[in-house]
Amino acid sequence: MIALYVVAVIAVFGVVRATLERNTGRKLPFVNVMNFAVAGALVLLLDHPLALVAAVAYFVGSTLEANAIASTYAGGDRRG
């Protein structure tokens, strides 16, 4: 199970880089790396068919959050 260890180490690496980065815009790609790694780790850890649904739900949810944070950081769409 080298795959699981590779994915876990990359998740921790993403967290460390995101914590050390001061600029919000450049922080988000590091968080993105962590999201990829956690979604992969979920499937590798859970030996169940529904692990796929859990990984997709986690990944889409975290991407939507990153999308919301980035759009708020950008000032959002001005309406009206």
Residues that bind another protein (CB under 8 A): 1-4, 6-7, 10, 13-14, 17, 23-26, 28-33, 36-37, 39-40, 43-44, 49, 51-53, 55-56, 59-60, 63-64, 66-77
Element (H, E) at 9: helix 2-20
Smallest separation, CB 8 to another protein (Å): 10
Please report how close the Cβ of residue 80 comes to another protein at its closest, in angstroms: 16
Who's near 70: CB < 8 A, 6+ residues apart? 25, 28
- The half-sphere exposure of 1 on its side-chain side, counting CA atoms within 13 A, is 8
Least CB distance from residue 13 to another protein, whole Å? 7
d(CA 14, CA 35): 9
Task: Between 77 and 80, name the residue whose CB sits nearer to another protein.
Answer: 77
